[in-house]
């Protein structure tokens, strides 16, 4: 990356937007749960026609980066139509968890467990305050403080002191832990397994919809350290499994790999179903707009000055003028968009096209 910040030209942005709009229109969008899960092979300068099959061993619960960033340029990319947060909420809403009992007996057990946990927690807090006050007033603690002259680093920790001199604190802690486990078991019995983690994700996600909160956009945790795309996909030496942890898994329809391979094998025997998509791209000056509108494609926070955010997510072609050498036998061709040529018609001819569902598996 050069020191000079790369500026995406308006013509490039218009061309990308027109391409994504055409692909999105080719596969009609639906409000149904599966209507927004669209993958497309990116049109790059290398002439990629289809994407490679997604390695099933790659698992990631950061669904946005899963679709848009983790995959290399010659693999399918996620074509957004909804905003980031809305897409994540759709995935969470699509998760199926085993149902709980939800009968009178399990409800009564749950309410009793909640009350017991509240009482045990209150008692533990009260007992801890009393125990810590006794710890600070203990002559042994004061002697250690005078000898070490380090009031913030006593040689006798509170936990060690309480085990010997304040057993009531230990009993209160054990009761709190026991009632907490009882409440958790009652919760799973009534609502079903895995609902606790799902509710936590939903709660954090709902916070992302509150614009007044000073927090980062909701991002499901994926690993213990920042990992680059190259470190995960296409590396010769794979990273140790303990260094990267992904949960839960996502599943792509098994037909994807099979059909994509058939497209390659049938590319020359005319057994594919040819797809032709044509679209027009116009410069901002000709269309009368200062910038393309990414909102209808899900990029709700991208403005003209931030097209670089799109560049990192969508490895598309660029709009530029290319002059072929002059020849006496063929004319001088020009392609692209610039000040002299403000519109272009693009025709994409593919061997085939299809939509495949993707979603989380039971590891949720």
- Identify the residue with better confidence: 79 or 119: 119
Distance CA 157, CA 143 (A): 14
Query: What value does the mean pLDDT take over residues 177-200?
Result: 82
Contact 65, 88 (CB under 8 A): no
Domain boundary among 161, 193, 225: 193
241 in any annotated domain: no
- Mean pLDDT confidence for 141-159: 59
Cα maximum dimension of the chain: 103
Quick one: pLDDT at residue 249?
42
Based on the fold, state whether residues 115 and 173 are members of the same structural domain: yes
Structural domain containing residue 354? 10-89+246-360
- Residue 94 CB partners (closer than 8 Å, separation 6+): 33, 359, 360
42, 67 contact by CB (below 8 A)? no
Is 218 among the domain residues?
Answer: no
The answer to whether residue 65 is domain-embedded is: yes
Q: Considering the chain, what is the average pLDDT of its residues? A: 61
Query: Do the domain assignments include residue 84?
Result: yes
Helix, strand, coil content of the chain in percent (nearest 5): 45, 5, 50
* pTM as predicted: 0.39
Tell me, yes or no, whether 63 and 112 share the same domain.
no
* 344 bridge partner residues: 281
Region of residue 179 (phi > 0: left; psi between -120 and 50: alpha; otherwise: beta): alpha
Span between the terminal Cα atoms of the chain, in Å = 38
Q: Does the residue 82 lie in any domain?
A: yes
Q: How confident is the model at residue 256 (pLDDT cuts 50, 70, 90)?
A: low
- Write down the pLDDT at residue 230: 45
Per the CB < 8 A criterion, the answer to whether 361 and 251 are in contact is yes
| Pair 273, 345 in one domain | yes
Q: Which residue, chain included where needed, has tokens 């991002």? A: 219
């Amino acid at each position: 990356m050069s020191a000079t910040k790369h500026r995406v030209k308006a013509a490039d942005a218009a061309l990308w937007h027109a391409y994504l709009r055409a692909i999105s229109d080719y596969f009609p969008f639906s409000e149904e749960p599966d209507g927004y899960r669209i993958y497309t092979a990116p049109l790059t300068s290398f002439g990629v026609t289809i994407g490679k099959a997604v390695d099933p061993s790659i698992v990631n619960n950061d669904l946005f980066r899963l679709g848009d960033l983790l995959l290399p340029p010659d693999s399918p990319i996620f074509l957004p139509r909804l905003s980031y947060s809305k897409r994540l909420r759709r995935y969470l809403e699509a998760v199926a968890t085993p149902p709980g009992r939800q009968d009178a007996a399990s409800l009564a057990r749950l309410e009793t467990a909640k009350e017991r946990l509240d009482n045990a927690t209150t008692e533990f807090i009260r007992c801890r305050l009393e125990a810590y006050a006794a710890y600070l007033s203990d002559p042994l603690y004061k002697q250690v403080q005078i000898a070490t002259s380090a009031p913030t680093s006593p040689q006798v920790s509170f936990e060690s002191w309480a085990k010997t001199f304040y057993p009531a604190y230990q009993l209160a802690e054990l009761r709190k832990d026991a009632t907490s486990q009882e409440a958790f078991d009652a919760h799973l019995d009534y609502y079903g397994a895995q609902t606790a983690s799902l509710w936590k994700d939903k709660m954090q996600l709902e916070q992302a919809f509150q614009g007044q909160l000073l927090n980062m956009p909701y991002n499901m945790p994926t690993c213990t350290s920042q990992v680059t795309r190259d470190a995960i996909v296409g590396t010769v030496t794979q990273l140790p499994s303990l260094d990267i942890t992904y949960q839960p898994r996502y599943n792509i329809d098994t037909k994807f790999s099979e059909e994509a391979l058939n497209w390659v094998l049938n590319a020359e025997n005319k057994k594919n179903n040819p797809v032709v998509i044509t679209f027009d791209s116009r410069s901002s000056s000709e269309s009368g707009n200062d910038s393309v509108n990414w909102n209808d494609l899900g990029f709700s926070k991208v403005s003209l000055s931030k097209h670089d955010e799109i560049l990192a997510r969508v490895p598309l072609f660029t709009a530029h003028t290319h002059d072929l050498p002059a020849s006496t036998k063929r004319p001088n061709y020009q392609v692209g968009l610039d000040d002299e040529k403000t519109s272009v018609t693009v025709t994409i001819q593919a061997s085939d096209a299809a939509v495949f569902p993707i979603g989380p598996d039971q590891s949720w």
